[in-house]
Amino acid sequence: MASLLGVRFAARKLLNNTTYHESMQTIPKTDLTPEKEPDLRSKLAPIIAEIVANPDLILRDEYTLEERRKDWVSLCKKEVVKDGDVLPIDTRSRPGHKILDHWHPHFYDVRNWKGVSVRSLVTVPQLEKAFLTNIQMHSTPYKSEIRRMLVMTGGLGNVTKYRAVTSKAIVQFFGAKTVLDPCIGWGGRMLGSLAAGAEYTGCEPDPNTVRGLRGLLGDIGKTATILDQPAEVALPTIPVGEFDMVLTSPPYFNLELYTAGEQSTTNHPSWDAWVETWLTPVILSSLAKLKTGGTSCWSVKNFKTDRAYPLADVTKKIHADAGWRLVKTVTMRGSGRMGGGRIVEGGESRGSEEDTYCFKEAAE
């Protein structure tokens, strides 16, 4: 029954009201009540039961090797810098992400600060809400839309993958040939750096993610140095003055909790301790790895979970105190990390935007 996923109008054709069977318009919520559609929920029940029994029907995206290699070629060909500046980037720009999606089936196991993951929302009540909302708003029940409805009706924000095109654009804009990423994550920065022709070294403690990263490299026929250790352990082993660029997105403290491996919050459970004994040393150690004239690029934002956390402000201050100045901000529009809440400061971007702040030594 879950074969209706991705079939145009398939879910709407479950309605008794034939007016909506091939409609492209939003359906009024009042027309989907049990009184108006007494059979709809019973028709959805076996579909939902099948998905609950096998959540990967909606949570896993698999692509053939040919599709993944075409995705890599698309990223390599993507124009990201023009007339001396980075072209506008938004979340619809996804070259490279079929590869990332294929190799990280544990992506939807990431928990928010309350311990809720997208996978944990694959239940009968939540799926019924998701399908009803999808039928109301969309003509086609794509599995990506069902996931999005689960996130929306379940009160989550989106777990994010850093866009490979953003990485490629930043590396290309600054002309970096060697890139250090102390917090690899899903591999978007690795793909983008390699697509820009740079050598890439990064740290990643989650063994599930490391396996995916190595599979990703096999797809594209490229090499990179992946240190399967936390940043604070791996960075001291890396020579100083070796890299043109640091490009990373550190953990957002308690915003996204990953599936395996030692995490930065494990030994630093409070915000102040985490900033003092993890974030600050990692930033300063990363700066030491840069060559003279190198660039330090950090994708961070101020956010709110159980309280407000000024991660972007703190990251900027650590750089400023170390003698580094902000020279460029690259914004990706239309994203949204888990947590939903956002600290809004003067000129900061909206919660639906992701900023990467790029710093140079102030003396330059």
pLDDT at 186 over 80: yes
pLDDT at 346: 37
What are the φ and ψ backbone dihedral angles of 201, each rounded to 5 degrees?
-130, 135
Average pLDDT of the segment spanning 196-210 = 96
pLDDT at 44 over 60: yes
pLDDT at 339 over 60: no
For 155: left if phi > 0, alpha if psi spans -120 to 50, otherwise beta; the answer is: left
pLDDT at 132 over 90: yes
CA distance to 42, 127, 154, 161, 356, per residue, from 46 (Å): 8, 11, 21, 32, 45
Q: What is the pLDDT of residues 319-336, one digit of tens each?
A: 999 999 999 999 987 644
pLDDT at 252: 76
Provide DSSP, 339-350: T-B----TTPPP
Measure the CA–CA gap between 61 and 142, rounded to whole angstroms. 12
307: confidence class by pLDDT, cuts 50, 70, 90 = confident
Average pLDDT of the segment spanning 69-98 = 92
Q: How many residues does the chain have?
A: 364
pLDDT at 347 over 70: no
Number of DSSP helices (H) and strands (E) in the chain, helices first: 13, 12
pLDDT at 73: 98
pLDDT at 352 over 60: no
pLDDT at 350: 46
Measure the CA–CA gap between 73 and 65, rounded to whole angstroms. 12
Q: What is the pLDDT of residues 221-280, one digit of tens each?
A: 999 999 999 999 999 999 999 999 999 999 876 556 655 555 656 566 688 988 999 999
Secondary element (H or E) of residue 211: helix 207-220
111: confidence class by pLDDT, cuts 50, 70, 90 = confident
pLDDT at 332: 85
pLDDT at 364 over 60: no
Domains of the chain: 2-54+119-153 (no CATH), 164-361 (3.40.50.150)
Q: How far, rounded to the nearest angstrom, does the alpha carbon of residue 63 sit from its chain's CA centroid?
A: 19
* Closest to 194 (Cα-Cα) out of 213, 210, 217: 217
pLDDT at 1: 52
* Closest to 166 (Cα-Cα) out of 320, 361, 353, 327: 353
Average pLDDT of the segment spanning 187-196 = 98
pLDDT at 147: 92
CA distance to 12, 14, 21, per residue, from 24 (Å): 10, 15, 9
Which range (52-66, 80-94, 266-280, 338-352) has the least confidence? 338-352
Higher-pLDDT residue of 259 and 198 is: 198
Token code pair at residue 101: 């999606």
297: confidence class by pLDDT, cuts 50, 70, 90 = very high
Judge contact between 343 and 303, C-beta under 8 A.
yes
Judge contact between 298 and 249, C-beta under 8 A.
yes
